[in-house]
Chains A and B, each alone.
Chain A
């Protein structure tokens, strides 16, 4: 594999790994994650349970596919959509002045705030940039 292809692939694997890890954390602690979802006070209770059950699997499936290098573009699209919706939720929560744990499920606990928003912006740019790169590669091959 050429080095100009290898680097984005590695970036994709790292991104996939991050989401897979975050998904695992939430999957193994579903009740704690449901509590975090409820704390946002955005979804009705019946939906909070569904979000807590489904969201970890979105991260596990999309992250896992990116790691193994299968259906990469679709996995990137799904992750970009997921992060974009996280961003909307974070901004709305900040605007409402709620000081709650973000429930992001990565390496350390953090509150909803500017750091969490910046982190999501980086992830969105990462997923979006990789998707664009993948699309360019397909166009060139054709």
Chain B
């Protein structure tokens, strides 16, 4: 058989393997496929995320975008951006300070020691999917901060709503 013939045979077998994978995938994960076909996948994922967060981050107060903006307008809350420094530098909520999760390990971090324990704090991360805001909020609570909330919509929701943002560049 020529090289081209061998290649064609390999390709045919690869296509067969792909068909096999499609069959196994559809059978094994039918509830997932069915739900996504009905257009209900996002809603189901959100429900599952909320359930998981309720168990994993018990005791962490959360804010939706309207509540977060209300806090912003009152001007009494400190907004903490828990994303990476480069993402923060690109664009962040106006007046927010950057405090990524790893920086919380540094006990004498001036960004942390300069905050009064009873100060209203709102923590956010990139988007609704990320858990970093909740992790940082939980960690801040364990460090003795008493009025910490996590804004679940994240920076994307804030930016899309057209609320004030700032850049460090």
Contact = CB atoms under 8 A, between A and B. Distances in A.
Give the interface size class of chain A: 35 or more
A81 B14 contact: yes
User: What is the predominant secondary structure among interface residues of chain B facing chain A?
Assistant: helix
B2 to A, nearest CB: 9
A63 B21 CA distance: 12
Interface string A40-61: 0000011111101111111011
Interface of B: 1, 3, 6-7, 10-11, 13-14, 16-18, 20-22, 24-26, 28-30, 32-37, 39, 41-42, 44-45, 48-49, 87, 126, 129
B32 A31 contact: yes
Contact of A71 (B3, B17, B26, B39): B17
A39 B130 CA distance: 11
A54 B21 contact: yes
User: What is the predominant secondary structure among interface residues of chain A facing chain B?
Assistant: helix
B156 to A, nearest CB: 10
A27 B37 CA distance: 19
B126 A99 contact: yes
B39 A77 contact: no
Given A49-B37, A73-B10, A55 B32 contact: no
A61 B13 contact: no
Contacts of A62: 17, 21
B28 A50 contact: no
B32 A53 contact: yes
Interface string A20-52: 000000010011001100110000011111101
Given A31-B48, A54-B25, A49 B17 contact: no
A139 B3 contact: yes
A139 B6 CA distance: 10
